Amino acid sequence: MASIHNAVLDLKKLDLLANGNSTIHRLDARAKVLVTLVFTLCVVSYNRYELTALFPFFIFPIVIISLAGLPPLFILKKIALLCPFVLAVGIFNPVFDRTILLQLGPLGISGGWISFASILARSALTVGAAFILVGVTGFTAVCQALERLGMPQVFAVQLLFLYRYIFVLTEESGRASRARELRSCGKKGLEMSSFASMTGHLLLRTWQRAERIHMAMLARGFTGEFHASRTSCFGAPEIRFILIWTALFIFLRFQNVSLLLGSCITRLIQ
């Protein structure tokens, strides 16, 4: 339970990081959402055996983290949390795909290992880009940008409520866990019957608290509109930001820069 609570606190830290005042923070949220969307589409559009072509795309998260002043170790830790899920998805690739695609001296590397490494690289890039987007924009501003880009308001509001419900669920689960520990007299573990009862009570308590929060919001005049803490407009900096990064992503997508650099280095050595 403590690990879940710490993970939620880290999500709150991402929102706090969005209060920075760098050039990236000051950009309109729509520009950052569009660039992140193009970046994600370019990364996931590669086939499963592409690996070296993905390496140049790491320039985007590195540059944005540097310009925005985000803590790189914090972002890396958040990406590492998803590694077990990625491993579960791709761990069987080497078992079912044993065709040798790369020969490094006496060592033959199968297509399964290459596709597995490609899944890891693409997951790190896309998940890292999502964390960075929230860290330089804030989740509320991201939802507002999605609405202004054409997403139906009801979907944007539901997405924001789902994000906020995570904190409600975690806080209530923390209270329930502490109450169980106080009543168990130091007994560790949780029986299946107690676990089922605790889960049911947890869902009911979070539902009731979410309803109270919603009624409080309505009492304060909530009408479904977003009110971001940072007001911005779409101007020349946003256009330059979109054009430069989009052009770079398209170039990297259709030109294997890693292969080109390797060829140039080989010619120089020869």
Q: Residues 55-81: what's their mean pLDDT?
A: 90
Asked whether residue 142 is assigned to any structural domain, the reply reads no
Q: Say if residue 245 is in the same domain as residue 192.
A: no
Asked whether the predicted pLDDT for residue 74 surpasses 60, the reply is yes
Cβ atoms of residues 147 and 226 within 8 Å: yes
What is d(CA 185, CA 144) in angstroms, rounded to the nearest whole number?
A: 47
For the chain, give the mean pLDDT: 81
Q: Say if residue 129 is in the same domain as residue 240.
A: yes
Considering only residues 65 and 161, tell me which one the structure prediction assigns the higher pLDDT: 65
Asked whether the predicted pLDDT for residue 64 surpasses 70, the reply is yes
Cβ atoms of residues 25 and 18 within 8 Å: yes
Q: Say if residue 120 is in the same domain as residue 159.
A: no
Asked whether the predicted pLDDT for residue 231 surpasses 70, the reply is no
Q: Say if residue 129 is in the same domain as residue 247.
A: yes
pTM equals 0.80
Predicted confidence (pLDDT) per residue in 134-171, tens digit = 889 888 888 888 888 888 888 888 888 788 777 777 77
Asked whether residue 261 is assigned to any structural domain, the reply reads yes
Asked whether the predicted pLDDT for residue 3 surpasses 60, the reply is no
Q: Residues 124-129: what's their mean pLDDT?
A: 92
For residue 138, the model assigns a pLDDT of 86
Q: Say if residue 124 is in the same domain as residue 29.
A: yes
Q: Say if residue 96 is in the same domain as residue 121.
A: yes
Q: Residues 7-26: what's their mean pLDDT?
A: 78
Q: Residues 56-71: what's their mean pLDDT?
A: 93
141 Cα distance to chain centroid: 15
Q: Say if residue 30 is in the same domain as residue 109.
A: yes
Asked whether the predicted pLDDT for residue 5 surpasses 60, the reply is no
Cβ atoms of residues 172 and 209 within 8 Å: yes
Asked whether residue 72 is assigned to any structural domain, the reply reads yes
Q: Which two tokens stand for residue 108?
A: 């033959």
Single-letter amino acid, residue 125: L
* 73, 75, 76, 77 alpha-carbon torsion, rounded to 10°: 90
**Sign, CA torsion 186/190/194/196:** positive
What is d(CA 80, CA 85) in angstroms, rounded to the nearest whole number?
A: 10
Asked whether residue 148 is assigned to any structural domain, the reply reads no
What is d(CA 11, CA 66) in angstroms, rounded to the nearest whole number?
A: 20
The residue to which tokens 């676990």 are assigned: 195
Predicted confidence (pLDDT) per residue in 45-54, tens digit = 998 888 888 9
Residue 125 — φ and ψ, nearest 5°? Answer: -70, -50
Asked whether residue 143 is assigned to any structural domain, the reply reads no
Q: Say if residue 206 is in the same domain as residue 270.
A: no
Q: Say if residue 53 is in the same domain as residue 119.
A: yes
What is d(CA 253, CA 251) in angstroms, rounded to the nearest whole number?
A: 5
Q: Residues 114-138: what's their mean pLDDT?
A: 90
Q: Say if residue 157 is in the same domain as residue 35.
A: no
For residue 1, the model assigns a pLDDT of 47
Asked whether residue 4 is assigned to any structural domain, the reply reads no
Give me the domain span that covers residue 198.
153-233
Asked whether the predicted pLDDT for residue 121 surpasses 60, the reply is yes
48 Cα distance to chain centroid: 21
For residue 2, the model assigns a pLDDT of 46
For the chain, the domain total comes to: 2
Half-sphere exposure of 140 (CA within 13 A, CB side): 14
Asked whether residue 145 is assigned to any structural domain, the reply reads no
What burial class does residue 16 get, using C-beta atoms within 10 Å of its C-beta: 0-12 exposed, 13-18 middle, 19+ buried?
A: exposed
Q: Say if residue 247 is in the same domain as residue 132.
A: yes
Query: Taking Cα atoms as reference points, which of 156, 128, 144, 140 lies closest to residue 57?
Result: 128
Q: Which two tokens stand for residue 116?
A: 């597995």
Asked whether residue 125 is assigned to any structural domain, the reply reads yes
Q: Say if residue 94 is in the same domain as residue 24.
A: yes
Q: Which two tokens stand for residue 180?
A: 């169980």
Predicted confidence (pLDDT) per residue in 162-207, tens digit = 887 777 777 777 777 777 677 766 565 555 566 677 777 777 777 7
